[in-house]
Each structure stands twice: as structure tokens, then as C-alpha cells.
Amino acid sequence: MVGDENPRPQDVQATFCATLVDEWIRSGVRHAVIAPGSRSTPMALAIAARSELQAHVVHDERSAAFVALGIGLDGVPALLLCTSGTAAANFFPAVVEAGLSEVPMIVLTADRPEELRGVGAPQTIDQVELFGNHVVWSRDPGVADADERSLWRELADDAWTHAQRGPIQLNLAFREPLIGVSGRLPEPVERRPMAPPTRRSDAVPAGGACPRGLILVGGRSGVDEDRVVALHRATGWPVVADPISAMRHLPAAVTTVDAILRHDGFADRHRPDVIVRVGRPAASKVLAQWTARATASGTILVQVGGPGVIDPDHDVAAVCAIDAVIDAVRSAGTAADIAADTEWALSWSRAQDLAERAVVATLAEFDELTEPGVARAVADHLPADAQLTVASSMPVRDLEWFGGARARAHSNRGANGIDGVVSTALGRAVAGTASVVLLGDLAFVHDSNALTALAQRHVDLRIVVIDNDGGGIFSFLPQATDLVHERFEQLFGTPLSLDTVALATAYGLDARTVQTADELVEQLQVPGPWVCCVPSDRDHNVQVHAALHAAVVDALSTDGRWR
């Protein structure tokens, strides 16, 4: 027992782990995700011993890491634990995403002690600073030493403090025997205040006083919507909000910008003098290319996220807080200038109305449930108490382009990977919220290990799979027309020929196929866990998108000034 004159090494390890866990509980951690293994036994036992923590056992390490990411989206890190060796390497995709999106996460990788490293010991790789600069902080403190017990809480506090800015790694070496008895814990220490992160802060350029401005609002911004509203009221500028921002309900919000900017006349005549961007960029390539060439004064980047969210050194005129922009435009009398050019805001509003009507009317023309129709139905009928997660391929684009004013979701847009979509949504569900996930069959199969034991978890996870038998997004790329069909299908379309309903059923889940919007809306109201499949055809989906974009362009062409 620790506290004796000569405590057993396994008891020191047990007390060390219990101390870290106790300190993290004091800090507010309430969830731990454990990927089973042997070397991690001391920490796993310390976690399981505390009733304040919900321990979620996830068998696949990659899935486990994305579950932890999903939990961390609410701002409080989960503990994420694995054994030694390649188990830790399987955390990598989620750690990368968490780093780029500044999602808090405390990554605990168990390791062999120093004498077993580099000597060919089994299940041993070099785990020290394994995740490189994808984590904001990492430590390899070595095997717990009773003489250093006064430092244990400080180590936990350091980990917690740094984890507020993104994922951290503690590489914890344990010696056998791995099962010990925890003794008396070191007394709690006074917490040190967390220093705010150093941010680049520029003066607002003169462009901030221009009447022809645009506010782009994306995800992971950290900016309260009332500040965005204040900027809009101070300037009158339209607010282009993507679904990941959860701000599409704001006044003057433009939700159809991708389709609007496909009208060359409108795009050419509506180049703003200045753009204020809040948060990360939207998924739309059309918007990105237009903004890259649109401004005379450049983009004012409202910096709240860190360098993983935004890169202030590329085509950015200034990086500053949103209140600095508001103060600058008020001081410059921008509101008075806008009064003389109300046509700017009215023109965007008119285009938004025309485009929205065209989208709704065109979707109604299709007899079948199309992929954009799925996105619209999910957006319009998402239960009020549910959170939506969408895959970073076509689903996030369909939601952005055609989801309308009610579209709100999370998407792993840090690295934009196919990894862990179901697991991320599962993380939100185990944290206690009804969770809906919209993804394609390829992303679903890629993360199917998240379904393991899902039926026994008693969580509300509702999974909507658009099954177009392969990688649907590639059908919109030049490869689809530049390559012969057989080569395209081999390398990009990659048909799975898989029965997604049968796969879900094999995991013990309720599963069904839906063919109409009414069936999908009805299914969305049913508590999970369940899987529903919406069949689709990739080639027809391209035609549907073309019809929607053409309808918007035609609608805008009714205004002769934009021709």
C-alpha cells in the first residue's frame, strides 16, 4: 500500500492512476472511453472504480477515438485509453481531426517501461510523441515513482489545462504486475489559472468601412451568435452561414450561396469589397473559388479558433476579434454609407428567396427520394432535442447547398476524412443526447465497427445511410468523365455490392429500407438505435444536382440585371 515505508510497485502504479483520475474528475471529466487491453490495466481499473465517470468500452481503437471526439464536441474532454503498440496508432485519425478542429481530448496510451523499449518486446512501438504536432501537449512521465507523488496532481492538471485547446497525449509506462491496490491519494492542490492562448491580432483594415461587405460564418468558430448579429446590424451585410455554424436562422442569412454563385452574372456583379470570415470555411468549392478572387480589400478573419481551424497567413488581410470589427465599422460610420446603397443587401435577399423557391420546387418534381431530398428532409424534420452529424463527403454538401434555413449539424471538417462518422455520432449519443447521423454507404461500412455492442448500449443513435453503392462524391469530379467507365468504377466508384440493412441486422440492430420522404420523416421520430437505408443511384444523383443548380440559375435569370 502507498503510505507504507516500502510500498509495492504495483500499488504505486495503482495510486498514481487513481490520483490522475481523481484530479480529472475534480476538473469536470465525466466520460472515459476504453479500448480493451492488458498493459493499460492500472488506468482502466482506476477509471472503472469511480462512479462519477461513465466508462464506455469500445473494442476498436479507431472507433473508440472518434467516440471520444464526439463526446468532446460539448467542450469537456473525455479520457481515451488504450494498451501499448499499434493500438495507439489506431487513435491517429481521430487525434488529427481533434487537433485540426480544436476538440478537447485526453489521450492515454499505455506503454512498456523503459527497459522493454527497443529490445524487441512484443506489442511495443515508439509511442513517445507519437502524434507529433497533432496534439497540443504530450508527456512521457515514466513508470510511477512514490517519491514523485507530490507531482502527480500537477501532471493531471497540466494535461487538463492543455486539453482545453485540443488533444493531448500522456504516454503512461506500466510494469508488471499490473494489478495493485490504491492507497492514500496526494492532497488536492490549488488550481493554476489557464493562460489564454496567444493570438495574432491585427488592426482592422480600411476595408472594414465598406458598404459592400459579406459575413461568412462557418463551424468551430467559438463566436456567439449575438456578436454575428451585432456585426450584421452594424453593417447590414448579408450573412452566409453554413449548417455547421448553426446560425442559418439569423436575419439576412443566405443558405443557397453555392447555387447562387453558379449564376455568372450575379457572381460578377456581387463581388464584395470586404469579407469577414468567422470560423472555418464552408464545404462549397464554388464559394471558396469566388471569395479567393472576389475582394478588393481582402478577407478580415475573425480569429477565435487556433491555427488548426484557420491559417491566417494565406490571403487574409487581417486577423482580429469580432468586436474589433464591429467597433471599426461603427466608428467609420458604415451604417450611413449603407443607407445610400441598400440595394446591396436587398439584392442578396432577393437572390436567396428566388434560389430557395427554386430548390423546393425542383425537389418536389422528383418522384423518388433523392440524395438532396434526404438532406432536406433530415434538416426540416430533425427532432428538436437531437444533434445531427453528417459525413464530410456529399452529405455535408447536400446539407449546405439544399438543406435550407433549418439545417444544423456537426461534420468532421478538420481533416475532412471518411473516418469515424458513426463513432463521432455515437460519442454524442453516449454523452446523453439523441444523435442522428447522415452518411453514405462507403462511410458507413468504413466505420461499421462502431455498431459493435450498439444494441446493448441503450443510447439514442439514429443512422441514415444513403446507399449509392460506392463513393458517390467521385461522380462529380473530372475522373468520372475523363476515364472510361470500367476504370472509373475500379478506382473511384468502388461499388461495394453490400446489403447495408443485412449488415446492421447482423449487429443486432433494427434496420429497414425507406423509399419516400414520408417514410424517412416517420423513421426520424423513432428513438434509436436503428439504421435506415435510402437507395440511390450515383449517375442519377449527378443529374439531380445539375437540375437543382440549373433551376436556381434560371430563377435568378428572371432578374435582367444579373444576366
Whether the per-residue pLDDT at 335 is higher than 60: the answer is no
Position with higher pLDDT, 383 vs 212: 383
Whether the per-residue pLDDT at 310 is higher than 90: the answer is no
Least confident of 144-158, 181-195, 348-362: 181-195
Which one-letter DSSP state was computed for residue 562?
Answer: G
Other residues' Cβ atoms within 10 Å of the Cβ of residue 312:
15
For 119, 215, 253, the CA distances from 241, given in Å and listed in that order, are: 55, 8, 6
Please give the model's pTM, rounded to 2 decimal places. 0.92
> Which of 47, 53, 41 has the alpha carbon at shortest distance from 83?
41
DSSP string covering 312-325, please? TTSS-SEEE-HHHH
Position with higher pLDDT, 118 vs 232: 232
pLDDT at residue 291, as a whole number: 86
By three-state DSSP, how is residue 107 classified? strand
Nine-digit cell string for 477: 469530379
DSSP string covering 136-147, please? SEEE---S--GG
pLDDT at residue 378, as a whole number: 97
Q: Which CATH architecture has domain 9-173?
A: 3-Layer(aba) Sandwich (3.40)
Position with higher pLDDT, 62 vs 271: 62
Class of domain 371-535: alpha beta
Instruction: Tell me, yes or no, if the two domains 9-173 and 206-342 fold the same way.
Output: yes
pLDDT at residue 312, as a whole number: 47
Interval 455-464 mean pLDDT = 95
The C-alpha atoms of residue 441 and residue 472 are separated, in whole angstroms, by 9
Confidence label for 47 from pLDDT (cuts 50, 70 and 90): very high
Instruction: Return the bridge partners of 56, or none.
Output: 33
Give me the CATH topology for the region 206-342. Answer: Rossmann fold (3.40.50)
Give the residue extent of every domain in the chain.
Answer: 9-173, 206-342, 371-535
Do residues 251 and 277 make contact, with C-beta atoms less than 8 angstroms apart?
A: no
Nine-digit cell string for 216: 461568412
> Which of 205, 217, 284, 275 has the alpha carbon at shortest distance from 245?
217
Whether the per-residue pLDDT at 208 is higher than 70: the answer is no
Do residues 182 and 46 make contact, with C-beta atoms less than 8 angstroms apart?
A: yes
Do residues 368 and 546 make contact, with C-beta atoms less than 8 angstroms apart?
A: no
Least confident of 29-38, 133-142, 185-194, 241-250: 185-194
Confidence label for 125 from pLDDT (cuts 50, 70 and 90): confident
pLDDT at residue 315, as a whole number: 61
pLDDT at residue 205, as a whole number: 67
Confidence label for 2 from pLDDT (cuts 50, 70 and 90): very low
Confidence label for 327 from pLDDT (cuts 50, 70 and 90): confident
Whether the per-residue pLDDT at 35 is higher than 50: the answer is yes
Q: Please identify which residue in the block is written with the cell numbers 471599426.
A: 328
Q: What percent of the chain stands above pLDDT 90?
A: 67
Confidence label for 211 from pLDDT (cuts 50, 70 and 90): confident
Tell which phi-psi region holds residue 64, choosing left (phi > 0), alpha (psi between -120 and 50) or beta. Answer: alpha
Strand order in the sheet with 31-34: 54-57, 31-34, 79-82, 105-111, 167-173, 137-139
What is the residue-averaged pLDDT of the chain?
89
Interval 525-531 mean pLDDT = 97
pLDDT digit string, tens, across residues 489-510: 889 888 888 999 999 999 999 9
Interval 353-370 mean pLDDT = 95
> Which of 213, 247, 248 has the alpha carbon at shortest distance from 325?
213
pLDDT at residue 323, as a whole number: 85
Least confident of 48-52, 173-177, 495-499: 495-499
